[in-house]
Structure 1
Amino acid sequence: MRRDSPMSVPTQPGGIEDGGASLFDEAPKAAAFERVPPQDLEAEQCVLGGMLLSKDAIGEVNETGIDSTAYYRPAHGAIHSAIMAMYGKGEPVDPITVADYLTKTGDLDRAGGAPYLHTLVQTVPTAANAVYYAGIVKERAQLRRLVEAGTRIAQLGYAADGEVSEIVNAAQAEMQSAVQLTAGAGQERVQWVDDMLEDYLVSMDAPPPTRLPLPYTDLQAMLPMEPGDLVVVAARPAIGKSVVLLDIARHVAIEHRMTALVSSMEMSRPQLMERIIAAEARVPLHRVKDRHYENDDRKRIHDAALRIGGAPMVVDDGPAATVVQLRSRLRWLQAQDRLPAVLIVDYLQIMKASGKRGQNRTGEVDEISRGLKELGAEFGVIVIAAAQLNREVEKREDKKPMMADLRESGSIEADANAVILLHRPDAYDKEHERAGEMDLIIGKNRQGPTGTVTVAFQGHYARARNLGTGF
Structure 2
Amino acid sequence: MHSLDDARRRPPDAARVPPHNLEAEESLLGSMMLSREALTAAVEARIEHRDFYKPAHGVIFDAAFALHSRGEPVDPVTVAEELRRADKLEALGGKATLLRIQASTPASANASYYAQIVSELAMLRRLIETASDIQQMAYGLEDDVDETIDRAETMIFEVAERRVADSLVHLYPALEQTMDQLAHLYDRDTGIIGVPTGYHDLDDLLLGLQPSTLSIVAARPGQGKTSFALGAALHCALVARKPVLFFSMEMGHLELTKRLLAAEALIDSRKLSTGRLNEHEWPKLNQAVGRLAEAPFFIDDNPHCTVMEMRAKGRRTKARYGDLGLIVVDYLQLMTSTRRVESRQVEVSELSRGLKILARELECPVVCLSQLNRQLEYRQDKRPMLADLRESGCLTADTELTLADGSVTTMGALHASRARDVAILTLDEHLRLVPGVMTHVFASGRKPVFELVLASGRSVRASANHPFLTLDGWVQVADLRAGARIASLRAGLDLEPARDTIPAAVWDYIERKGLLVMGMRAHDLIDRLAAEEGGHHRVYAQGVSRGLMRRLACELPDPFLSDLASSDVLWDEVVAVVPQGEELVYDATVPGTHNFVANGIVAHNSIEQDADIVVFIYRDEYYNPESESRGMAEIIVAKHRNGPVGSTRLAFLEQYTKFANLARE
Scaled by the length of structure 1, the TM-score of the pair is 0.62
1:211 aligns with 2:297: no
Are 2:349 and 2:609, in contact at CA under 8 Å, matched by a contact in 1? no
**Is 2:343 aligned against 1:360?**
yes
Counterpart Cα distance in 2 of 1:385 and 1:349? 10
Asked whether 1:52 is paired with 2:143, we answer no
Q: Is contact 1:47-1:131 (8 Å) kept?
A: no
Aligned to 2:148: 93
1:429 aligns to 2:429 (yes or no)? no
Deviation at residue 191 of structure 1 after TM alignment:
1.3
| Equivalent in the alignment of 2:289 | 305
Shift of 1:265: 0.8
Decide whether aligned partners of structure 1 residues 324 and 54 sit closer, same or farther in structure 2, where only a CA change above 3 A counts.
Answer: farther
Pair 1:374–1:296, CA change in 2 (3 A): same
The sequence identity of aligned pairs, in percent, is: 32
- In structure 1, the partner of 2:71 is none
Distance 1:436 1:327, change over 3 A: same
Letter in 2 for 1:374: I
Counterpart amino acid of residue 244 in structure 1: F
Q: Is the 8 A contact 2:326 2:366 kept in 1?
A: yes
Which consecutive residues of structure 1, in runs of 5 or more, have no partner in the other structure? 2-38, 59-82, 99-126, 139-180
| Structure 1 Cα separation of the partners of residues 129 and 333 of structure 2 | 36
Q: Which amino acid aligns with 2:230?
A: L
- For 2:184, what is the secondary structure of its paired residue? coil
Deviations 1:272-329 (A, max 9, x none): 0100010000000001111111351111101111111121000000113210110111
Q: Residues 156-202 of structure 1, C-alpha deviation per residue, up to 9 Å, x if partnerless?
A: xxxxxxxxxxxxxxxxxxxxxxxxx9x93522x32112332343345
Equivalent residue in structure 1 for 2:359, among 373, 376, 380: 376
Deviation, structure 1 residue 419: 0.3
Report the equivalent of 2:657: 462
Of the candidates 283, 303, 307, which is equivalent to residue 319 of structure 1?
303
1:193 aligns with 2:248: no
Q: How does 1:19-418 map to 2 (within 5 A)?
A: 46-52=132-138, 91-93=146-148, 184=163, 186-187=165-166, 189-201=167-179, 203-207=181-185, 210-224=193-207, 225-356=209-340, 358-408=341-391, 413-418=608-613
* CA distance in 2: counterparts of 1:398 and 1:448, whole angstroms: 26
Q: Once the 2 structures are TM-superposed, how far is the Cα of residue 393 of structure 1 from its aligned partner? A: 1.8
Aligned amino acid, residue 635 of structure 2: L
One-letter amino acid matched to 2:623 = Y
Which deviates further from its counterpart, 336-345 or 364-373? 336-345
Corresponding pairs, count: 321
Q: Structure 1 or 2: larger strand share?
A: 2
Question: Would you tell me which structure has more helix in proportion to its own residues?
Answer: 1
Q: Residue by residue, what CA displacement relative to the aligned partner does 1:330-386 show, whole Å, maximum 9, x if unpaired? A: 122133143421110000111111132x52111111110100000001111110000
SS for the counterpart of 1:206 is helix
- Specify the SS of the correspondent of 2:185: coil
Instruction: In structure 1, give the amino acid aligned to 2:185.
Output: P
CA RMSD in angstroms comes to 3.4
Give, in whole Å, the separation in 2 of the partners of 1:303 and 1:229.
34
In structure 1, C-alpha distance between the alignment counterparts of 2:197 and 2:253, rounded to whole Å: 23
Which SS does the other structure have where 1:278 is aligned? helix
Is structure 2 residue 506 aligned with structure 1 residue 451?
no
Letter in 2 for 1:451: G
Q: Distance in 1 between matches of 2:303 and 2:130?
A: 30
Contact 1:423 1:438 in 2 (8 A): yes
Task: Name the CA distance, whole Å, in 2 between partners of 1:420 and 1:196.
Answer: 30
Structure 2: distance between partners of 1:256 and 1:319: 28
